[in-house]
Amino acid sequence: MFFKTIDFSKYSSIKVGQPTPVLMIEQNDTIPKDRYIIGGANNLLLSPTPPALMMLSKDFAYIKEYDNLLEIGASMPSGRIVSYAKKHNLSGFEFMAKLPGQLGGLVAMNAGVKEYEIFDILHSVCIDGKWVEVSQLEYGYRYAQLGGIVTGARFEISLGYNYELEEMLNTLRANQPSTPSAGSAFKNPPNDSAGRLIDAVRLKGYRKGDMTWSDVHANFLVNLGNGKFEDAMYLLELAKQRVFEEFGITLQEEIKIL
């Protein structure tokens, strides 16, 4: 183990935060129970007073094949997973093509695009050093009940990377802003979309400081340059309040607030 200072105003995808010490976990280390684990910080909003943090080191960025299984370490970035799938003509990973993050985070939130989710293709997950088959885990739309730290995952190997599917899914994500954000701020309620609701309560493009609800996609909270945690929280709470008052729907954060 060793500490690394990470400046979250540069490292996180929403570019909010400050230099913060993070404990780096190496292979064979005992993973602490009193720290919050982060990965690529693609869906994180870091406060000025975050909990103690840790991160899996590059020791956990690996891909290996055996017994018709593909095993991937939890700190492997999604882009590198897709590149491997293309190179070796493996199907099932097409939805990751424009999905930022590292494998551990994708598993922990059952990340996906439309009806394609990572749990659809998972075989088993290594949690706190023990392999657990997917059938033993509770999961659903944008959540997984894991009860520990993911250090790796296995997938059954199936041939035939589908470039047409990748292109179709990428088109679905073409309406997302390129400005720094943490991805979708809220989960979509059943049979509705958070973006539609935020737009309907007249918050699309609404700004507080350098944080704003994107005028490209209303469910994206974006940083226009010098966004602050307090302004982001103001906008999140305002959206929840207005949507509840107008529609009786309680929005649930997809973004992780630390």
Whether 13 is catalytic: no
Looking at residue 29, its amino acid is: D
Q: How far is CA 136 from CA 31, 119, 146, 166, 191, in A?
A: 22, 12, 10, 30, 28
Other CB atoms within a 10 A radius of the CB of residue 11 amount to 17
Looking at residue 234, its amino acid is: Y
From 142, 158, 207, 253, the catalytic residue: 142
Looking at residue 241, its amino acid is: Q
φ and ψ at 171, to 5 degrees? -65, -35
Whether 154 is catalytic: no
On whether the CB atoms of residues 81 and 57 are closer than 8 A, the answer is: no
Q: Please give the Cα distance from 47 to 202 (Å, whole number).
A: 27
Whether 124 is catalytic: no
Among candidate residues 85, 120, 125, 130, the one with its CA nearest the CA of residue 103: 125
- As annotated, the active-site residues are 142, 184, 254
